[in-house]
Structure 1
């Protein structure tokens, strides 16, 4: 699917867009289901809300199965309940797949709940770094 086009030849990417592989479509659907937007599978992203678009971006990142995931405010457009679920999903996935997961969050409580190391920045400078921040 679209999230893996960089790993395909031109011909494969063209065929994939014209006739998606059922296995790839199922994998994409499963990830969209995990981020709570499976019902949006065939909708254009420009018709989605900001929070839904943010979850599409996260789903794309997960679909690519990265070794490292760098997320800048990945839950900024989500309500607290959904934000917690998404961070939990990303944290669990990174742990299960042995990925490095670096995230910036403004919600310190949420950060402390999921991450053993917190680096606090103020004015572009590190003011604390460690687990006992």
Structure 2
């Protein structure tokens, strides 16, 4: 019985660790995208400073592009905050599952040790040498 409970606790812990890893990967992807957006914004602003003749022709297009990049950056920031909150929740569940798994391991080890002790006591107390009158 303790063996089955131990296996369930370990599976739960493994699932929670997997969910945590996936959430961390999602956050890393969002952070990479956020860095790309920042680099694009800097590049566009740098292009505005480069040539004044082009600047006059493309200002409306550049402003629209900067606004769209800013909106996407804000959306990514909100998504990142939501993902961080989800990661904290998953991490707490993972920690709880880890403690449960550790407790089950200890209980299983204790039950196995008790069983071995009972088996040894039974072997010692068996009377195979009983003589009949």
Q: Which TM-score tier does this pair reach, normalised by the shorter chain? A: under 0.3
Provide the TM-score with structure 2 as the length reference: 0.21
> Which protein has the bigger strand share?
1
> Which protein has the bigger helix share?
2
- Which structure has the larger Rg over C-alpha atoms? 2
Greater relative CO, 1 or 2 (CA 8 Å, sep 6+): 2
Provide the TM-score with structure 1 as the length reference: 0.21
